[in-house]
Structure 1
């Protein structure tokens, strides 16, 4: 299990060394890479451009939604291949930029001033981005795949597990001090393969993927809402609107709060070969209906 989802991992004012772009925009102008927004039924995002048949694809927007970061992977001739792209918005349209050597998609903090790569980060500077720095010795013992940050500075992250183990953890920033990470309780850390968390900027909910006996098959998407006393509520399956018997994972809400992005393992249209990860999006309004009253 956890085949492609385990691989879910801003370009600054200056392009990274080795980055190069196409001369003409690859997509029309307008928000969301010029794509027509979906309704309450998930659709493949930017088919043929972002979601491609030959690659597993993952992506997310920058906080200002003027850049979209894509990471791809595939096996070819027995070798693991990766590709990193950034689509930047221009008056003429969205321009595709190739970024060789980028190991994963960064998670950029809501204020746009810090971008995180697992247990390392960079700060925005006048010239672009600082050198990579450790988020702290307390995190070095974890093999982090995905780390997200709230507007209050709370970290929520996973770790690469084996045989279904691995916990979701959090670390709060309080009075100018980073607290040591702690595991969430059983409301969240139940079942297996809990991974790829996303914390809302206002910390009102957490989303992630995992496997539970009550699920739809393989990994499903779950949400836990923060309760009035500050505790996290029981995990709620996002339901058949999003989850299927296939493997879903990597939930992420767009910075404007309007759309849920996630990955789903999809068989090739021909029916031959292994399932590959495609990026989907759906109107996020249905999430409010899941919130306990």
Structure 2
């Protein structure tokens, strides 16, 4: 598996930061919040609503914390280049999508910060601020990030001594400044191509994708729960209903805490001999997380 895996898988990273306790500003959830799609149970189902995927070219997307905006991408077919869209929920229904210059936005729990890679925007009375640098602590960040409710960043980073393999780490906000990244232990950092972390709002669990010997195929999705003393339990493969012989990656929990989303796909060879990753978003009841927690 090449570094190209990371570049492609990153495109499917969608970031919402939530868990079952999603704070005081509860999103206005109703039957249309997920475009009228029938809720999945404990077996993952393809998430491809007609409104965002009329031609089957929808890749994936992310909801804003208040569930009134959905940022998503389409590719292939008439979209020779990956194209970015936003669709808004207004007057009790979803409107018409429009193209946007905002690429793969990620949001703080309260919705006041939009993260875009190593930069971010702040919400103002007139809209979003210009992009600002998050700081030098993210210089080695790659392939996703996730931020807790108190502002702690979790992200993969690369160091020369790691021979090109990423490690998950974190950086806390201390006295108004982010500390140098600290690498997590082997409970988390075992395997190859470690990427795309999702951390619970209260840091009670961490989910990410990685290639490990005990996996079901290519990259699988793993979870680790945090002990009360702040240490992490050994990672658990999320099991054969989530992971398959295909490549699973980019996990996220929705702002209402109800569903786990992830990408499932495979590499396909083109006529010119090059390879193209084709993945789709799946969703499953977030009860799967509690079920795994009960096994600890």
2:17 corresponds to:
none
2:69 corresponds to:
67
CA distance in 1, matches of 2:163, 2:62: 28
2:18 corresponds to:
none
Query: Deviations along 1:213-247, whole A, 9 cap, x unmatched?
Result: 00000011111111121011111111011110000
Query: Deviations along 1:149-199, whole A, 9 cap, x unmatched?
Result: 110111111248998711122111234332221121111111001111111
CA gap of 1:112–1:53, structure 2 versus 1, over 3 A, is same
CA gap of 1:228–1:29, structure 2 versus 1, over 3 A, is closer
Greater Cα shift, 275-284 or 203-212? 275-284
CA gap of 1:51–1:229, structure 2 versus 1, over 3 A, is farther
Q: Is 1:7 aligned to 2:6, yes or no?
A: no
CA distance in 2, matches of 1:65, 1:158: 27
Q: Is 1:149 aligned to 2:151, yes or no?
A: no
1:43 corresponds to which of 34, 45, 57: 45
Greater Cα shift, 41-50 or 247-256? 41-50
**What is the root-mean-square deviation in Å for CA atoms of aligned residues?**
2.9
Normalising by structure 1, we get a TM-score of 0.82
Query: Deviations along 1:24-43, whole A, 9 cap, x unmatched?
Result: xxxx9721122221111111
Query: Deviations along 1:114-155, whole A, 9 cap, x unmatched?
Result: 110111001111110111011002222x25231211101111
Q: Is 1:242 aligned to 2:242, yes or no?
A: yes
SS in 1 for 2:111: coil
Q: For 1:135-174, what aligned pairs fall within 5 Å after superposition?
A: 135-140=134-139, 142-159=140-157, 165-174=165-174
CA gap of 1:184–1:36, structure 2 versus 1, over 3 A, is same
CA distance in 2, matches of 1:75, 1:6: 21
1:171 touches 1:181 (CA, 8 Å); kept in 2?
yes
Count residues in correspondence: 268
CA distance in 2, matches of 1:181, 1:228: 22
Q: For 1:75-94, what aligned pairs fall within 5 Å after superposition?
A: 81-94=81-94
CA gap of 1:30–1:233, structure 2 versus 1, over 3 A, is same
SS in 2 for 1:88: strand
1:202 corresponds to:
202
1:55 touches 1:74 (CA, 8 Å); kept in 2?
yes
CA gap of 1:125–1:255, structure 2 versus 1, over 3 A, is same
SS in 1 for 2:97: strand
Normalising by structure 2, we get a TM-score of 0.81
The unaligned stretches of length 5 or more in structure 1 are 10-27
Q: For 1:81-160, what aligned pairs fall within 5 Å after superposition?
A: 81-102=81-102, 104-140=103-139, 142-159=140-157
